[in-house]
Amino acid sequence: MLERQNSGEDALMDELRRMTKEQEQAGEMSPTRMEEIYATLSPFLTEKQREKMREVIRRLKE
């Protein structure tokens, strides 16, 4: 079960990276914009959700 969950998460990250790259090329996304999105959403998230979002942003910036 955990392996399937990880593969699903990996597939999601791959798709997010692809979409982020497309948006960066179109001038619609940047590392600064990702931080702005985080700052806007973080007050509405639990600590665990904030940690997960930080991890996703870190991985997208790689």
Residue indicated by tokens 């593969």: 7
Q: Which of 51, 60, 48 is nearest to 14 (CA)?
A: 60
The domains of the chain are located at: 2-61
pLDDT for position 9: 85
CA distance 44 to 23: 25
Give the residue among 29, 3, 17, 1 at the shortest CA–CA distance from 59.
17
pLDDT, residue 50, reads 96
- Other Cβ atoms closer than 10 A to 20: 20
Could you tell me the pTM of the whole model? 0.76
Given a cut of 70, the residues of the chain with pLDDT beneath it are 1-6
pLDDT digits (tens, 9 = 90+) for 28-40: 999 999 999 999 9
